[in-house]
Amino acid sequence: MQKVRLRFAPSPTGFLHIGGARTALFNWLYARKVGGTFILRIEDTDEARSTGESVDAIFRGMEWLGLTWDEGPNKGGDFGPYFQMQRLDLYKKYADQLIQSEAAYHCYCTPEELEAMRTRAMLAKRPPKYDGRCRSLTQTQREELEKTGKKAVVRFKTPTQGVTEFDDYVRGHVSFENALLDDFVLLKTSGVPTYQFAVVVDDYSMQITHVIRGDDHLSNTPRQILVFKALGWDDFVNNLKFAHLSMIMGPDGSRLSKRHGATSVEEYKKLGYLPEALLNYLSLLGWSTDDSQQLFEKEDLIQKFSLERCGKSAAIFDPQKLLWMNGEYIRKSKIEDLTQKSLPFLKEAGLISEEPLSDDRLQFIRSCIALEQEKIKLLSDVPKLIDFLLQEDFEWDPKSVEKVLKTPGVLGLLLEIIDRFEKLPQFTATSTEQLCRDFAQEKGLKAGAIFHPVRVATSGRTQGPSLFHYLELMGKEKSIARMQKTYSTFAIH
């Protein structure tokens, strides 16, 4: 049996977006499941829009998601180069072959002529396709046109009769009338191939066995099949397997775009999503298991993935579900891993320096994060949840001051608690909680009447981690110092 070979072939005209990442993931999952080869190919023939920055962004996005490729840029392989602009001689060779066999021809129409052609077709309510006027030019006519300085593209001579059909894992049997297709361009005047041509040459020369891509490419498939056959690669294309994945829509049912929120993988990284959570969520966009399982370990996902379970209906991208899933992954993370992933966000917030952290400081941060692990939905939540623990100083939230510290008698209670805290032989979560409960009972108050002032006096806010556990973590000296500062600040007013 021929070894399974799949490719992810992005165009480097922007960042790795959600749709591209989902396509890469499904190719990667299938390759890993069947022991195949996953290839990264950069389709950089859009000369005006392709950039090195976009190439780097694609690399970073895939590496962050863990979608490592077996062949491609930075890895090499026997079928390179893996940038299309480094393969121009190959495309010219096969374009010449098509011209020699009269399956393609030179077209000298100018952009203005093509636009006029399109306008006339639309006014006549016909499909706005090329009318084939250069299809039957004689050698003499071509030479005359070239003498005027006109440059030619190479067009494919699409059959005007019959159908082109193929079987698709997702769509089933698909058929297109050839008469509805146009004579599409294979090579531009610059000698650079179009997508329709380059993908055929590359898939054949790289021995691709399965093409998994978005269903916006469904209508490209008959054109590409016709080119395969015109080049004499019938056996290859007859064995080529296709799977056209459903489109990804926003919650409002329109195509996913920036108005729905972040669309690039790196944006999700910056927002504080875990790569494994995003990967898990992407796997559910257009695919499901029989039992509608939601959370997967990566190996479990590989074993259960199948192209047959990919659905035809558009996938809806639900940011709230992704956020929920990210929180689930954070809650089950090992605290050491979660801490390491949180450090860049703490640095960005100015809560820790760029200098290497001592073991004691790292352990303290780890303990702080552990207190709030159940509440964290995004890594970017971490700084605002634990900032008061990491800062030497802190600020009082005005609403908390009004609600708690300005209540009559509160500062007097706070002064008494300071005195009792100072006398505690052991400053633990258990001992401080018991002291506060006993004090409340002694004063005939509810426990909250003591807990809230202590919290605001030590953190500046009414919400936060477990009060007595963070007091223990903060330590006796710092806890009392903060309470004294709070008393002296507000007793004056």
Last residue of one domain, picked from the residues 319, 345, 361: 319
Average pLDDT over all residues of the chain: 95
Question: Within this chain, do residues 228 and 130 fall inside the same structural domain, yes or no?
Answer: yes
Question: Within this chain, do residues 238 and 260 fall inside the same structural domain, yes or no?
Answer: no
Label residue 218 left, alpha or beta by phi (over 0 means left) and psi (-120 to 50 means alpha): alpha
Selected catalytic residue, list 93, 151, 258, 403: 258
In a domain, 327, yes or no: no
- The pLDDT confidence band at residue 106, using thresholds 50, 70 and 90, is very high
pLDDT one-digit tens code per residue, 281-327? 999 999 999 999 999 999 999 999 999 999 999 999 999 999 999 99
Tokens of 245: 């994945």
Question: Within this chain, do residues 64 and 188 fall inside the same structural domain, yes or no?
Answer: no
Strand-pair category, 315-316 with 248-249:
parallel
pLDDT one-digit tens code per residue, 441-470? 999 999 999 999 999 999 999 999 999 999
Residue 263 has a pLDDT of 83
Question: Within this chain, do residues 228 and 165 fall inside the same structural domain, yes or no?
Answer: yes
In a domain, 136, yes or no: yes
In a domain, 328, yes or no: no
Q: What is the CATH number of the domain that holds 446?
A: 1.10.10.350
Last residue of one domain, picked from the residues 228, 245, 262: 245
Q: What is the CATH number of the domain that holds 364?
A: 1.10.8.70
Question: Per the structure, how many domains does the chain have?
Answer: 4
Give the global pTM: 0.92
- The pLDDT confidence band at residue 413, using thresholds 50, 70 and 90, is very high
pLDDT one-digit tens code per residue, 238-278? 999 999 999 999 888 888 877 777 789 999 999 999 999 99
The CA-based dihedral angle spanning residues 345, 351, 353, 354, taken in that order and rounded to the nearest 10 degrees: 10
Confirm if 79 and 207 have CB atoms less than 8 A apart.
yes
Question: Within this chain, do residues 275 and 351 fall inside the same structural domain, yes or no?
Answer: no
- The pLDDT confidence band at residue 475, using thresholds 50, 70 and 90, is very high
pLDDT one-digit tens code per residue, 347-387? 999 999 888 899 999 999 999 999 999 999 999 999 999 99
Last residue of one domain, picked from the residues 193, 210, 245: 245
Q: Cα 183 to the chain's mean position, in Å?
A: 36
Strand-pair category, 104-107 with 153-156:
antiparallel
Question: Within this chain, do residues 170 and 305 fall inside the same structural domain, yes or no?
Answer: no
Q: What is the CATH number of the domain that holds 301?
A: 3.40.50.620
Question: Within this chain, do residues 93 and 238 fall inside the same structural domain, yes or no?
Answer: yes
In a domain, 326, yes or no: no
Question: Within this chain, do residues 199 and 121 fall inside the same structural domain, yes or no?
Answer: yes
Question: Within this chain, do residues 69 and 178 fall inside the same structural domain, yes or no?
Answer: no
Which residue range(s) make up the domain with 462?
Answer: 398-492
- Specify the higher pLDDT residue, 129 or 183: 183
Widest CA span of the chain, in angstroms?
Answer: 110
Q: In the predicted model, what is the mean pLDDT of residues 69-88?
A: 97
In a domain, 22, yes or no: yes
Backbone angles phi, psi at 213, to 5 degrees: -155, 175
188 in catalytic set: no
**290-323 b/e with 16+ CB inside 10 Å = b?**
eeeeeebeeeebbebbebeebeeebbebbeeebb
Question: Within this chain, do residues 284 and 428 fall inside the same structural domain, yes or no?
Answer: no
Question: Within this chain, do residues 99 and 156 fall inside the same structural domain, yes or no?
Answer: yes
Residue 493 has pLDDT above 60, yes or no: no
Rounded-to-integer distance, Cα 440 and Cα 118, Å: 84
Cβ within 8 Å of residue 339, ≥6 positions away = 362, 365, 366, 369
Q: Is the peptide bond before 319 cis (omega within 30 degrees of 0)?
A: no
Question: Within this chain, do residues 454 and 469 fall inside the same structural domain, yes or no?
Answer: yes
